[in-house]
Structure 1
Amino acid sequence: MLQQIEEPCSLGVHAAVVIPPTWILRARRPQNTLKASKKKKRASFKRKSSKKGPEESRWRPFIIRPTPSPLMKPLLVFVNPKSGGNQGAKIIQSFLWYLNPRQVFDLSQGGPKEALEMYRKVHNLRILACGGDGTVGWILSTLDQLRLKPPPPVAILPLGTGNDLARTLNWGGGYTDEPVSKILSHVEEGNVVQLDRWDLHAEPNPEAGPEDRDEGATDRLPLDVFNNYFSLGFDAHVTLEFHESREANPEKFNSRFRNKMFYAGTAFSDFLMGSSKDLAKHIRVVCDGTDLTPKIQDLKPQCVVFLNIPRYCAGTMPWGHPGEHHDFEPQRHDDGYLEVIGFTMTSLAALQVGGHGERLTQCREVVLTTSKAIPVQVDGEPCKLAASRIRITLRNQATMVQKAKRRSAAPLHSDQQPVPEQLRIQVSRVSMHDYEALHYDKEQLKEASVPLGTVVVPGDSDLELCRAHIERLQQEPDGAGATSPTCQKLSPKWCFLDATTASRFYRIDRAQEHLNYVTEIAQDEIYILDPELLGASARPDLPTPTSPLPTSPCSPTPRSLQGDAAPPEGEELIEAAKRNDFCKLQELHRAGGDLMHRDEQSRTLLHHAVSTGSKDVVRYLLDHAPPEILDAVEENGETCLHQAAALGQRTICHYIVEAGASLMKTDQQGDTPRQRAEKAQDTELAAYLENRQHYQMIQREDQETAV
């Protein structure tokens, strides 16, 4: 559109965080001086290039020349592609779409230092760290090295496993499917807070004798600064065993379930062996000049934690909840104090169900002396530290972005401007099957939802309060739960769905429920996602909602079997599937045809339907054939999902995956369906299959863990 070429670009709804193209200038590559002759240049080419090697490696094809504006909060995005089961590799594409690609950086390509140096003069700069707590610590340490004044505040998109720092700053325990546009808005609107960071200085203990030395121990800590915690004893020993085993045999630690089982086995064996039961005899702890050693020896802990933030071990609260502190001040991440906590085996076990450890003290400085080699860990990085004297002091305070609690100007529940005193609102729940299939189509997903009942909540209530009202629904004998269309109870893993603030539904992390109001995520109805609820297709007692799945091209004509009539031959069924004759296949099945029939190459009807690309026949077979047909293999070891992936049939792949087909099965060449899609160069289908494979593995791990 030539008439628009000269029009200025508004940079879209996220203009405040986007780096304008006018800030980016092309940089010329450094060249040799013109005074030297060509002959001299050639003669000294190798010598000069070797001297300028580091300079050449630091050269970038562009430089940043900012124009400061008080309305702008330019954003620098760092993505760790390996975090969270390779979630980072997928989400980086979304950031490249919403932002200027020159402000999005892959941390696997050299780290954050060069990017921070380029953007050090940008006013009001903010940083978004996409990764785990280790990624955040890496960026904060680099900011310390560069000494930027003022240091840019750092926000977090949690992609790791523990994400304790992200939970503390309200960013949640992990990324699910929140739109990138909303994440950018949260970063822009977030509050700037301070985070204490602590120095660790370790030196050998001169009083330790030769008999206390351990050949496998080291004199150096893995990190000399921590943001979350420093601990020694039982938890560090389990983490160290895991890290050493994974380094020795990385191929055995390729799933979260195996990792969990290894942790559990190591913890149990360490408990039986009692390797940490004598911890109190070999340590001396002095906090702010007060010797806590007698108190520790009376407690006999198997683990001691020096905690900076309220969260620990994937979301637990070892110091306890704010109302339980009694003789101590409430815990904060910016007060310049460490919390010292001791754990026995009993309190460690109770930690996972809401318990806490033994509160020892709050202090500004710690001197820890060990008389033998003891396992320690610094923000999850373990080692076996030789007998040492460790001094912990406050290093500095990092500037962070805390996710702010949302509040819309006008409630979306009704046309009234003021927030009503009470809201009477319908609650409907959605199955995971329907959510995966329809969450981009709001209207169809609403039709597929199942009414649960009605709740009455205060007009300004957040989701945390609303959760309590919803969970009481099915406990009331005369409530909506008794007349609910489904007799299934709510599962413990249900979560809220935001139905209003984006173009599609998306899940709200449970750790962020206190940040969202009811009037912001719903208009006249609250939708919740229940992963254990049966999908609409699996509930014959409910009306089937309108669906994007193909409908029958022919009207059903029931055919009753005659008493002596023989069921149809299997070859007739095979021929109907090959010809994409849906009506004939349906008629043969009603006449007694076997939908599990195979031909001479062991191919099922579903294999033939996939080969011809018949969506109607595929859908009919998935609804009426036994579940064994999903993972049935032909002579070359291919399942129907292998075939669909190789042919790039995305819709059919979706049908088969949602029906419950295994994504981990391999053919004779050792390929999974995802790898077949990659060989067919269908990257979008491969990404979808990889995402579903990851989700399927998590589901299986949860089921096996429950068993």
Structure 2
Amino acid sequence: MDSPSSSSVTSDKIITVKPAPSLVDSLRGCGISSVRVDKEELRQNMTMPEYLRFAIRDCIRFKDTIVCKSHCIGGDSVHGDDEKAVAPKTPMVVFINPRSGGRHGPVLKERLQHLMSEEQVFDLLEVKPHEFIRYGLGCLDTLAGLGDTCAKETRERIRIVVAGGDGSVGWVLGCLTELHTQGLEPVPPVAIIPLGTGNDLSRSFGWGGSFPFSWKAAIKRTLYKASIGPICRLDSWKISLSMAEGTTVEPPYSLKQTEEYSLDESLEVEGELPEKVICYEGVFYNYFSIGMDAQVAYGFHHLRNEKPYLAQGPIANKIIYSSYTCTQGWFLSPCSGDPSLRGLKNILRMHVKRFNSSEWEQVPVPTSVRAVVVLNLHSYGSGRNPWGNLKPEYLEKRGFVEAQVDDGLLEIFGLKQGWHASFVMVELISAKHIAQATAIRLEVRGGEWKDAYMQMDGEPWKQPLNKDYSTFVEIKREPFQSYMVNGE
């Protein structure tokens, strides 16, 4: 395989995202700009003609694209001036997670509806992304097929904004891959209004780490940037998890059980293979990790579910998360415990495919490492860059290349104990560099450990380990890249 490069992108409208130069840049809120945005002009550029809005609404409501025929020009419905309808310059659709952003979600939704139209703002609790993609965009495709020029141009120009955290953005991106697989292009690019806790996807594409307190004015500027911003590419990674049948596991919603799974047989297996397995598959955009960081995330996740009144917004979440982290064994390990049993090396065997090779290579897990992170973005843990901005000499010495979000590579690094992770998170030091890879296979085996903690884009779970059979995690790049709008 040739060295990955983003130079293969031929479109002048698609750019490569560079890492943020400093932690200060990652703290910028989106929408902070001196640009004055005219509200009426913005509304005119974003809002679809009424007949299209109603057609999309009805198709989603009845889950049938045929419904839109009653709204087409010359159909049974009377549209008046819509017979001369012109597609907006940049039609916009917004998905909002009302549970994100503390108590501001419902108010933000109302403001967005006022700036464009009620039919173009979707509550993620009421309209799922795949429903809009299947029936909303399907409606525009159907009308375009009937000769509706306005619908055709709207479909070609449409952009999507997600108001929520990284999980909400990933949900929408994952659903958009359906368009790739079915050849229903173009695929709309995605912009972000960051309402989550970490917002690492948002930071990586210039939308900031949090939405500003002066959010009413910021909404206009954000929508304006979403309408004019250049388009970037983002790699997406498929993860396959397999274990012996009978294993009781509660994976996150982003992992779905599948009937078919084929383990790469070119590698020897340290443990035994069971006769029957259960398999889960999903896609991540930011990171996958195993070890103590996932254990802390798992504990915090359950604490927040048990006591939802603690989750009053991003700042409160970060304070509680930091306090909870200090109570875990990552910082204070029992003196009676054998230090040699704490490292992931005791349960984990790792193989990778490097960017210049199609062969699997076993990579040793350092004895001191207690968490292994597989990273796709430049941002991790609310804006930190644990991989670091490495010098060319070091990259050449280690056989690495400069990390990009669209280079077909994952950066693999390790975190030792909590103190080491803390210094990494404040960017005083870099994490333990392990490898860069185009594909990864992890074999997790039982023994002294009864469970392993894993997480994928902030969604943690506890993975039971079997003494007789190994659990396998395989990661490889999806053939289609996602499209993001750059907010810088």
Fold-level similarity (TM above 0.5): yes
When residues 338 and 88 of structure 1 are mapped into structure 2, their CA distance, relative to the original with a 3 A threshold, is: same
Structure 2 Cα separation of the partners of residues 71 and 96 of structure 1? 16
Report which structure shows greater RCO (CA 8 Å, sep ≥6). 2
Aligned-partner SS, 2:477? strand
Which residue in the other structure is 1:389 paired with? 472
Q: Deviations over 1:412-446 (max 9, x none)?
A: xxxxxxxxxxxxxxxxxxxxxxxxxxxxxxxxxxx
Structure 2 Cα separation of the partners of residues 139 and 399 of structure 1? 11
- Is contact 1:205-1:369 (8 Å) kept? no
The answer on 1:199 being equivalent to 2:238 is yes
The answer on 1:107 being equivalent to 2:124 is yes
When residues 70 and 333 of structure 1 are mapped into structure 2, their CA distance, relative to the original with a 3 A threshold, is: farther
The answer on 1:118 being equivalent to 2:147 is no
Question: What's the offset of the Cα at 1:70?
Answer: 8.6
Question: What's the offset of the Cα at 1:322?
Answer: 5.0
Which residue in the other structure is 1:367 paired with? 441
Which residue in the other structure is 1:570 paired with? none
Structure 2 Cα separation of the partners of residues 277 and 330 of structure 1? 32
Cα-Cα RMSD: 3.4
The answer on 1:281 being equivalent to 2:349 is no
Q: 1:140 is aligned with what amino acid?
A: L
Which residue in the other structure is 2:193 paired with? 157
Q: In the alignment, which of 143, 150, 167 is matched to residue 176 of structure 2? A: 143
Question: What's the offset of the Cα at 1:61?
Answer: 8.7
Q: Mapping of 1:152-191 within 5 angstroms?
A: 152-176=188-212, 177=214, 178-191=217-230
Aligned-partner SS, 2:484? strand
Structure 1 Cα separation of the partners of residues 452 and 56 of structure 2? 52
Question: What's the offset of the Cα at 1:88?
Answer: 2.2
Which residue in the other structure is 1:402 paired with? 486
Structure 1 residues 234-243 or 116-125, which shifts more? 116-125
Which residue in the other structure is 1:557 paired with? none
Consecutive unaligned residues in structure 1, runs of 5 or more: 1-9, 31-53, 207-212, 405-707
Q: 1:382 is aligned with what amino acid?
A: P
The answer on 1:234 being equivalent to 2:292 is yes
The answer on 1:344 being equivalent to 2:416 is yes
Which residue in the other structure is 1:696 paired with? none
Aligned-partner SS, 2:233? strand
Question: What's the offset of the Cα at 1:381?
Answer: 0.4
Structure 1 Cα separation of the partners of residues 425 and 298 of structure 2? 21
- Is contact 2:93-2:158 (8 Å) kept? yes
When residues 279 and 68 of structure 1 are mapped into structure 2, their CA distance, relative to the original with a 3 A threshold, is: farther
Question: What's the offset of the Cα at 1:304?
Answer: 0.5
Structure 2 Cα separation of the partners of residues 72 and 365 of structure 1? 40
Q: In the alignment, which of 373, 377, 385 is matched to residue 317 of structure 1? A: 385
In terms of fraction of residues, the more helix-rich structure is 1
Aligned-partner SS, 1:375? strand
- Is contact 2:289-2:371 (8 Å) kept? yes
Question: What's the offset of the Cα at 1:244?
Answer: 2.3
Q: 1:110 is aligned with what amino acid?
A: V
Aligned-partner SS, 1:331? coil
Q: Deviations over 1:612-644 (max 9, x none)?
A: xxxxxxxxxxxxxxxxxxxxxxxxxxxxxxxxx
The answer on 1:15 being equivalent to 2:36 is no
When residues 70 and 58 of structure 1 are mapped into structure 2, their CA distance, relative to the original with a 3 A threshold, is: closer
Which residue in the other structure is 1:268 paired with? 327
Structure 2 Cα separation of the partners of residues 68 and 159 of structure 1? 35
Structure 2 Cα separation of the partners of residues 138 and 301 of structure 1? 31
The answer on 1:353 being equivalent to 2:413 is no
- Is contact 1:232-1:304 (8 Å) kept? yes
When residues 221 and 186 of structure 1 are mapped into structure 2, their CA distance, relative to the original with a 3 A threshold, is: closer
Q: Mapping of 1:42-61 within 5 angstroms?
A: none
Structure 2 Cα separation of the partners of residues 125 and 249 of structure 1? 40
Which residue in the other structure is 1:244 paired with? 302
Structure 2 Cα separation of the partners of residues 358 and 89 of structure 1? 42
Q: Deviations over 1:506-554 (max 9, x none)?
A: xxxxxxxxxxxxxxxxxxxxxxxxxxxxxxxxxxxxxxxxxxxxxxxxx
When residues 334 and 18 of structure 1 are mapped into structure 2, their CA distance, relative to the original with a 3 A threshold, is: same
Q: Mapping of 1:597-612 within 5 angstroms?
A: none
- Is contact 1:229-1:307 (8 Å) kept? yes
Give the structure-2-normalised TM-score. Answer: 0.66
Question: What's the offset of the Cα at 1:125?
Answer: 1.1
When residues 158 and 134 of structure 1 are mapped into structure 2, their CA distance, relative to the original with a 3 A threshold, is: same
Structure 2 Cα separation of the partners of residues 68 and 333 of structure 1? 39
Question: What's the offset of the Cα at 1:25?
Answer: 5.1
When residues 138 and 65 of structure 1 are mapped into structure 2, their CA distance, relative to the original with a 3 A threshold, is: farther
Q: 1:139 is aligned with what amino acid?
A: V
Structure 2 Cα separation of the partners of residues 199 and 242 of structure 1? 26
Q: Which entry has the higher C-alpha Rg, 1 or 2?
A: 1
- Is contact 1:233-1:374 (8 Å) kept? yes
Give the structure-1-normalised TM-score. Answer: 0.47
Question: What's the offset of the Cα at 1:56?
Answer: 5.1
Q: Mapping of 1:431-510 within 5 angstroms?
A: none
Q: Deviations over 1:251-292 (max 9, x none)?
A: 555575476335433443322236982211110110114544
Structure 1 Cα separation of the partners of residues 433 and 173 of structure 2? 29
Consecutive unaligned residues in structure 2, runs of 5 or more: 1-38, 74-83, 142-154, 256-281, 354-358, 466-470
Structure 2 Cα separation of the partners of residues 28 and 293 of structure 1? 52
Percent of pairs identical after alignment? Answer: 28
- Is contact 2:254-2:283 (8 Å) kept? no
